Structure formats: structure tokens, C-alpha cells
Structure 1
């Protein structure tokens, strides 16, 4: 079990978002598969029309035309998630302590920006229940 960082430990300021559950947006499909092995499933993402690769603790959206990772997704039912290699509890209070105030609050969640990368914490409307967390390039539409 990886060491869990206390939500009160703000020594890591998260000036950049580099990895979500160990996956970087800068990796290419072949690098990801060489490192993580074959996914348990590959499904089409209905919004992007790209393939979504399902691994044990992460889903990765990859468009075949570029081989570039479009997004990294962690399901909200997991007890923990990892940002830049630091394991955090899957709780909104811990996320607020680690990342500070969100840049945007939408009906379906909160968005945090660092450079060109963004993290969106999807939440059940009207509650603090986390449905999932995405890492994506904020400059790609």
C-alpha cells in the first residue's frame, strides 16, 4: 500500500499536474501499453469518439489518429487516487486542502487549473459525493 499523505500536509503545492494515477498526458499510446500492459477493456468514448482504455485503477482516452492521450479518468468509488505520485483520499475536503479553491465550479463538479492542464472533480449534483476525477489538457477542445 502506498503511503497516504495527510490532507493537512501541504508541502506539495501542485504547481503542475503531471500524472493522475501514474498516467501522464504526455505519454503516447505505445509507451502507456508498454508500461501498463494490455487493458482489461477498450470502449469508445461517446463524447470524443476516441478509444477509452480501461486498466485496474484508471481509464485513459486515446485518439488513434495521433496516439496521444486525451484524458485520464479515475472512478469516484475508489478510496484513493494519486496526483503527481502522491496518494490522496477520494474525499472532497482532502482535495480542497491539497489543491485549494477551484478555478471554476460547474453543476457537475469543480475544475482546477495548472498551466495548460486541468483536473475536474465530477460530483453528484447537490452533494460532496465524488463520481470521478479527470486530468486533461485545457487547451484542447
Structure 2
């Protein structure tokens, strides 16, 4: 990680001296470098949490992390219970997190410890090329944990994201 930061600092060092870099980004050179560094270091090897929630969490863990939900609903057909928060919906199956949904109104998601705005170009810049495509979006899989980004295909607008376990074709 340190080698990556040193390499990135070496590549970006001219930006801190060159005034044309700050003129093109409308930011002071040091802020432009920090913004690039923040975006360049995401592409996580593992998906541990989304909006602070792990797929290993139980209801009590979620309440400890996010507080009491605004509402709780039950889906009798699927057998899930959902805790609804302003920026997150957490679905439980048999007492453990089954999925985490982030609505577009949240503006983005916090993956592990990094904020990722809901903009397809930013997502792909920060996470790399998508690993799967669907009619309603695209996604990424790391060690059986998946993130699907829902996207309106006509407008390109991101409509939300889900974090869940993915076991592939078995």
C-alpha cells in the first residue's frame, strides 16, 4: 500500500508545482492531488461493509451501529425482515443480514471506509471495470460478496445499490 502511495505521489508530484493543473480543476494543486489520491485507492480486494453494515451482522449489531430503525417491515413470501433507515435498508433472513440496499436518495454508499458517489463514471473510476452486467445495472464480486449498482439504462441515472452474498452458478 505504501509503495502504491509513493508511486502515485511520484506520478502526481508535477501537479503540485504546475499551476495549469489547478486551473483545469478549479482547485488548489494540493487539493487536486488529494482528490485523485482518494479516488485512486478504492478498488477494494474485499467488501467488508456497506454503509457500516456487514453481511455477518445480526439485528442487535445493526441497531448498535445505526440506531433504532425508522420502520420495520416483514415480507411473508420471502421470509425477510427489513430495517429501514434514511440512507439504508437492511434485510435479515433467519436472524442475519441477507442484503443491504442503498437508495439513490443517499447519493452514494460508504464501501468499507470509502465514500463512493452514485455516478457511474466515479464508481468505475474507483472500483474498476464492472464484473457483471444486467438489464438493470452492473456489479462487482469479491470473495462471494457482491455489490450490484442499479442504473436506469435510458438515462444512465444510478437508482440504488445492493450488497449481498453471491454464490454464482453451482
Band the TM-score falls in, shorter-chain normalisation: 0.7 to 0.9
1:48 to 74, 78, 103: 78
Higher relative contact order, chain-length normalized (CA < 8 Å, sep 6+): 1
The structure that is helix-richer by fraction is 2
Aligned to 1:18: 48
Structure 1 gaps of 5+ residues are none
Shift of 1:6: 5.1
Q: Give the root-mean-square deviation of aligned CA atoms.
A: 2.4
Q: Tell me the TM-score normalised to structure 1 length.
A: 0.85
Max Rg structure: 2
Aligned residues: 136
User: Aligned residue for 1:77?
Assistant: 105
TM-score, normalised with respect to structure 2: 0.71
Q: How far off is 1:132 after superposition? A: 0.6
Alpha-carbon distance between aligned partners in 1 of 2:75 and 2:131, rounded to the nearest angstrom = 26
CA–CA distance in 1 between the matches of 2:117 and 2:150? 15
Q: Deviations over 1:24-45 (max 9, x none)?
A: 1111112112332210011234
Q: Mark the runs of 5 or more structure 2 residues left unpaired by the alignment.
A: 1-33
